[in-house]
Structure 1
């Protein structure tokens, strides 16, 4: 089971919006050096929605190549078409991904039975570890704990990233009595510490993009049950957890990484550069975490 701080890595781009593979490679090396436990390539934070299929797979391959088995690589392969999700998942497996992160279908709002059949069909079609991804604030679709419990019994489905951002949902999932091998990840940095202290196994994180060492330290302390130490690390991260979302993710994270000298400032429409009114609050957050 993958545990700890799992970065949902940004996809660096040039000013013209082309994928910057050299910067991506340097980011992966930096994350490994800083202690990041695993990398999600081409998730929401990686601007998967606006990458072509060729770009999507090229980013996954680059992360796998540079990481060179030093940390697990999880590929984002979700789609609101079951057929497309199967195709992307198979291609990611062929590229060497250790697991695939598959978001609930967006826009078409399937019922719970549709969600069950969607994920079951993918798991039966592609022999790769699959992590469910629930983020109703993005998709307009909320996968309920009872559906997660059904899917936990499907071979190849090994965990869930729950990003509803409510500790009540964390407690509901823990109360299901899921198999010990079924991984529970939060996708909400602000409640990640509490989620792990309650029993979750890690955080698929936006904050880790800009403060990877602190996020690794916080997650390690929480997983060890050291609440005081986890709280001390998390106190330095608290403003980032909040203010990396003053504009839609990944706009502030990419701005921060540009200020830190890690990537160029490119982002792809319909996303745009960060609102200048938010610069001071994000800079203050970066200083609080000691990363600038």
Structure 2
């Protein structure tokens, strides 16, 4: 039997991307030194891309100046060892455009742009928003489809149209619409990154480009291992590694607390830069932190 040809995978920002938390000092100020140390740690353990100021990075509660300073600090820390994608999505097209330009100046390699929230614009307005951002800089754009946060979907037909627009190169998929993902993969050259950790292997198996992972903050090497095993043709090992991570993925992203909260709680127990979350988020309860550490130890010592 002739071996199947592996799917072509556009990977403009790498394959194993971490949706990095934004470290803060104990008093809640931006911890740029900690951000550099965490970024270096993640890259050394298998991440070839870092996504800053996304959902996990507490973008709603960091200032424009902090976002730019974070990009610059992480760029200095990792150099050219990893790509940097800067989250610039807001509810305002003009504000998003300004953030995109500042991210470019600070050294980002790409832009993560969520659908504009709150106003609930129709699809033609969403499309115009993304085109405007794509035209604002020379950086490639990642469409961030996360309707649970924005309150509005980037509909598949809108994505198909935007795929033809210069500068729009990728999707971070948090839509939980696996059929739509496969439809778009089959009809476009967009790089499709799993934004939900439980979908990393599933999306990769049908031609996805990799992941933008929250859980990679705490087990970057394990999640890279899922993709490494698949690329090596050891699909059974890839499935085993994905399944073994399920309990930690569930505890960090599906237990009623935001992933930012659980990630920072666990990172703190691992003596890695994290710090507190900013209000309105509250820290994880002590019993949650203990349970997270137990799951982490079970996964990393198995």
Q: Structure 1 length normalisation: TM-score?
A: 0.94
What is the match of residue 178 of structure 1?
A: 188
Work out the CA distance in 2 between the residues paired with 1:287 and 1:235.
16
The one of 242, 252, 260 equivalent to 1:250 is: 260
The one of 265, 268, 277 equivalent to 2:275 is: 265
Which ranges of 4 or more aligned residues in structure 1 deviate by more than 6 Å?
none
The one of 195, 199, 211 equivalent to 2:219 is: 211
1:236 partnered with 2:237: no
Q: How many pairs were matched up?
A: 289
Contact 1:210 1:291 in 2 (8 A): no
Deviation of residue 291 (structure 1)? Answer: 6.9
Contact 1:10 1:250 in 2 (8 A): yes
- Post-superposition CA distance 1:225-270 (Å, at most 9, x none): 5321211221231112111122112000000000111025311111
CA spacing shift, 1:183–1:265, aligned 2, 3 Å: same
Work out the CA distance in 2 between the residues paired with 1:251 and 1:100.
24
Work out the CA distance in 1 between the residues paired with 2:121 and 2:95.
16
The one of 59, 82, 85 equivalent to 1:71 is: 82
CA spacing shift, 1:168–1:284, aligned 2, 3 Å: farther
CA spacing shift, 1:264–1:114, aligned 2, 3 Å: closer
What is the match of residue 140 of structure 1?
A: 151
1:187 partnered with 2:195: yes
What is the match of residue 73 of structure 2?
A: 62
The one of 98, 103, 109 equivalent to 2:120 is: 109
Work out the CA distance in 1 between the residues paired with 2:24 and 2:301.
21
Q: Structure 2 length normalisation: TM-score?
A: 0.91
* Runs of at least 5 residues in structure 2 that lack an aligned partner in the other structure: 1-11
Deviation of residue 211 (structure 1)? Answer: 0.2
Q: Secondary structure at the match of 1:185?
A: strand
Once superposed, what is the RMSD of the aligned Cα atoms?
A: 1.6
